[in-house]
Structure 1
Amino acid sequence: MKRMLETMMLLIAMALGVSAAMAEPITVTDLLGRQVTLEKPAKRIVLSQGRHLQALALLHPDPVSLIAGWKEDYKLDSASYAAWTQKYPAIEQIPSVGAATDLSFSVEKAISLEPDLVVFSLFTRAATSAGMLQGITSSFEKAGIPVVFVDFFVKPMQNTLPSMDILGKLIGREEQAAAFSDFYSARLRHITERIGLETKRPKVFMQVHAAPGDCCNSPGRGIFDDFIVAAGGHNIGADIIPGLAGRVSVEHIINVDPDIYLATGGPHMAALRGLVLGTGVDEEAARESLDRLVNSSPISNLSAIANHRAYGVWHLFNDSPTHILLIEAMARWFHPDLFADVDPDATLRELNSRFLALPLQGTYWITPQ
């Protein structure tokens, strides 16, 4: 009897120890170097960038259930939003805390939703004055609501994995975040370790939001430039654009005559007869839109187009950890001999089966016929 009581007491003590461990506060250091502490994993999150739903979808089987409020930028991709609505009808009940524009975020509305965490992007910080942003974060802190900064946009190659680690800890999904980190790192390392100092980088021109009558918007430094560099290319827009994005003249592009032409697009470009890619888009429709674009563009005489080295990519890789797919696709295009063994289609299948709560189903990159 005494031994039984001792065993029971030991089991109770172990249970209490486990409970105490589970109840320990969660502390992370965000991308601004701020320490952020939650008493328990977040269950009610406000997203200042609605498209960060996809980052949560890599970590949680029902990311919609975590969102207490969000900005409506994710709805700009109507095809993806429709797919989310079909699988998670509750998404339509998520309150809005602002439109797609950066300055539309309503602090008062967000606070009224009583979240246990607000997630901001470094892009919001870059697009907002320091004083305004300090006022926003102070308002949440006064209300006792933690704020964290992550980034998949401004410096994606540097900040994606730390951001996933931060989110994983704050929602109690550390193991899933670590598994994704291993998956992402292995594929990125496979590419970057082969690209040495002696590797000749092709000159790349990327036309963003590509449409025939509007040439030419281009990335500068950061965002897509980071992906192009990681894949072994040289973004000619970065040579003359000082910020994240800007314009490149037709004359300059023709004079440089890049080796590779890349266009970004999505379903939102259909109305402009531009490049159509993304969720729900079949390969034939995507290729038709790319052919139409290059045949009617002011830069249709580029060597890259004549040599069938014109490609299309989904624009919304620009703020998502799924950009590893884009890097793999570009590496094959830039260095077909060096990366013949890289298979972004296989990576997409594994990403869908192992990680994404809502699989990516559509055409997200396209090559010439």
Structure 2
Amino acid sequence: MSRLVPILRRLAAAALAAVLATPALAEIRATDITGRAVVLDAPAQRIVLGEGRHLGVLAMLHENPVALVAGWRQDKALDPVTEAAYAERFPGIADIPAVGAGNRQLSVESVIALQPDLVLLALVDATDPQMAQPLAQLQAAGIPYAFVDFFAKPMQNSLPSLAFLGAVTGAEARAAEFAGVYQAHLARIADRLAAAKPASPRVFVQVHAGPDRCCPTVGAGVFDDFVTAAGGHNIGRDLVPGVMGNLSLESLIAADPDVYLATGGQHMAARGGLVLGAGYDAAAARASLAALVAAPGLSGLRAVEEGRALGIWHMFNDSLFHIALIERLAQLFHPDLFADLDPEATMRDLTGRFAPVQVPGTWWVTLK
């Protein structure tokens, strides 16, 4: 026994030294788009989404994004065609519990019951007065939350938001891979514009384009960012205050833009407006664009008469695949400078590499 004690002591000391030498599981520390520090014990595996559309962003980073979603708010959901495509591959999407309705309502009780690792919210939630109490309750319950933005300032915030998601879900390499592709495509456009210094066409963007009212448009932010990146000048920036505004038909005719853009999607079908995007073929999209610009006033716009009218999928305003749209706009604005671009191929490549499901559709359309 006297010989055994020293041996046991040495073994105990060695075991203790091994424990002390083994690094503890490293915390994950990341900074969200608002500058908030978010600390997690491990990569998030149970996430509550404040917007259903952010499932598509998770899908860019993970082969099975549905497995990471513990619950979601029924706000800004996936369109029916896209959700059906996800459901076919990931049947578990039907079992994701709701934690709130539209209009940014969030049931904190439902969230707490799910015991998520992270609640992922949009930038607008950070300043929405009705979210002040839910955020305080999440804080008191010890549930981490964070803000991302792919909408308000897409050119500024999309890649940092993706990098944040990569960091908190253990997919940094995948986020960096997409960032490299995105930046290479964007640099090609920016470098040519900087070298050639072409005149910027004056562009009007009619958002949620329909026959019922004319003409809702955008000021700074969102589609304005895409127009600017493609070498155009959004006249809405000069004519409406803030991010959104409305321009009368008379003012639009007087402004006489060089290019007319209209945004639409499945959500405009019930209003007889521009329909394109997931589930629509080019013929249906083209017919709806033709019907839209046949309206009095729009039909006489120089941009329409001279073939510089383009219908675009409205949901590019919340999709990192907007780099393909920027390429298409660059071709429209400066056809000689960007004749070699292939935005359709860019869109196919991006969805093929960074989306787990392929959704057929038409993402932009001309009159011919």
Letter in 2 for 1:154: A
C-alpha contact 1:263 1:313 (8 A) present in aligned 2 = yes
Instruction: Report the 3-state secondary structure (helix = DSSP H, G, I; strand = E; otherwise coil) of the residue aligned with 2:99.
Output: strand
Deviation at 1:353, TM superposition (A): 2.1
| Cross-structure match for 1:336 | 335
Task: Return closer, same or farther for 1:63/1:294 CA change in 2, 3 Å cut-off.
Answer: same
The CA distance in 1 between the partners of 2:174 and 2:359, in whole Å, is 18
| Cross-structure match for 2:168 | 170
| Cross-structure match for 2:311 | 312
| Cross-structure match for 2:142 | 144
Q: How does the TM-score come out when normalised to structure 1?
A: 0.90
| Cross-structure match for 2:321 | 322
C-alpha contact 1:71 1:100 (8 A) present in aligned 2 = yes
The CA distance in 2 between the partners of 1:33 and 1:92, in whole Å, is 34
Letter in 2 for 1:202: P
Higher gyration radius (CA): 2
- Aligned residue runs from structure 1 range 192-341, under 5 A: 192-196=190-194, 198-296=197-295, 298-341=297-340
Letter in 2 for 1:78: P
C-alpha contact 2:52 2:78 (8 A) present in aligned 1 = no
Deviation at 1:206, TM superposition (A): 0.8
Instruction: Report the 3-state secondary structure (helix = DSSP H, G, I; strand = E; otherwise coil) of the residue aligned with 1:96.
Output: coil
The CA distance in 1 between the partners of 2:152 and 2:217, in whole Å, is 15
Deviation at 1:214, TM superposition (A): 1.9
Deviation at 1:199, TM superposition (A): 2.3
Give the alignment partner of residue 80 of structure 2, picking from 55, 78, 81.
Answer: 78
Q: Quick check: 1:66 aligned with 2:68? A: yes
The CA distance in 2 between the partners of 1:123 and 1:27, in whole Å, is 23
Q: Structure 1 regions of 5+ residues with no counterpart? A: 1-11
Q: Single out whichever of 269-278 and 173-182 deviates more from structure 2.
A: 269-278
Deviation at 1:134, TM superposition (A): 4.1
Task: Return closer, same or farther for 1:72/1:17 CA change in 2, 3 Å cut-off.
Answer: farther
Deviation at 1:121, TM superposition (A): 1.2
Letter in 1 for 2:121: F
Q: Quick check: 1:348 aligned with 2:347? A: yes
Letter in 1 for 2:181: F
Instruction: Report the 3-state secondary structure (helix = DSSP H, G, I; strand = E; otherwise coil) of the residue aligned with 2:250.
Output: helix
Deviation at 1:90, TM superposition (A): 1.2
| Cross-structure match for 2:27 | 25
Q: How does the TM-score come out when normalised to structure 2?
A: 0.90
Cα deviation code 1:166-211 (max 9, x no counterpart): 0001111111001000011100111112223932111111111111
| Cross-structure match for 2:39 | 37
Task: Return closer, same or farther for 1:45/1:168 CA change in 2, 3 Å cut-off.
Answer: same
Equivalent pairs, count:
351
Deviation at 1:100, TM superposition (A): 2.7
| Cross-structure match for 2:106 | 105
The CA distance in 1 between the partners of 2:138 and 2:33, in whole Å, is 18
C-alpha contact 2:279 2:359 (8 A) present in aligned 1 = no
Letter in 1 for 2:51: Q
C-alpha contact 2:218 2:245 (8 A) present in aligned 1 = yes
| Cross-structure match for 2:8 | none
Cα deviation code 1:306-364 (max 9, x no counterpart): 00111011111111211112111111111111111111111112112211122342111
- Aligned residue runs from structure 1 range 119-138, under 5 A: 119-126=120-127, 128-129=128-129, 132-138=130-136
Deviation at 1:43, TM superposition (A): 0.7
Letter in 2 for 1:111: I
Letter in 1 for 2:122: S
